[in-house]
Amino acid sequence: MSALVSQAGDDDPLRALAAVAELHREINRTEAVVVRRARTKGASWAQIAGVLGVSRQAVHKKYGGTRFGKG
């Protein structure tokens, strides 16, 4: 990710934008993995939502269901 952050500062705006787009994808993948870990370790949707700064409903809608267990 640090390489992508560096590339996001590229003088060429299209290369910088491509790096930012890849950063978004990587962050979303990483967030999903960490949410899954938190749920596996017993964190509630409300706790996860608080850390992410969103509502419990929003985090449950995004990550809820069978993929992340514990309904």
68 vs 41: CA distance, rounded Å: 11
Read off the pLDDT of residues 8-66 as tens digits, 9 standing for 90 and up: 888 999 999 999 999 999 999 999 999 999 999 999 999 999 999 999 999 999 998 65
pLDDT of residue 66: 53
Quick check: is 20 in a domain? yes
Q: Is residue 71 in some structural domain?
A: no
pLDDT value of position 64? 87
Please indicate, yes or no, if residue 16 is contained in any of the structural domains. yes
Task: Write the DSSP assignment of 2-25 as a string of letters.
Answer: HHHHHHTT-SSHHHHHHHHHHHHH
The DSSP letter of residue 54 is S
Write out the residue range of the structural domain in which residue 34 sits: 2-63
- Specify the number of domains making up the chain: 1
Determine the pLDDT at residue 19.
Answer: 92
Rounded CA separation 48/36 (Å): 10
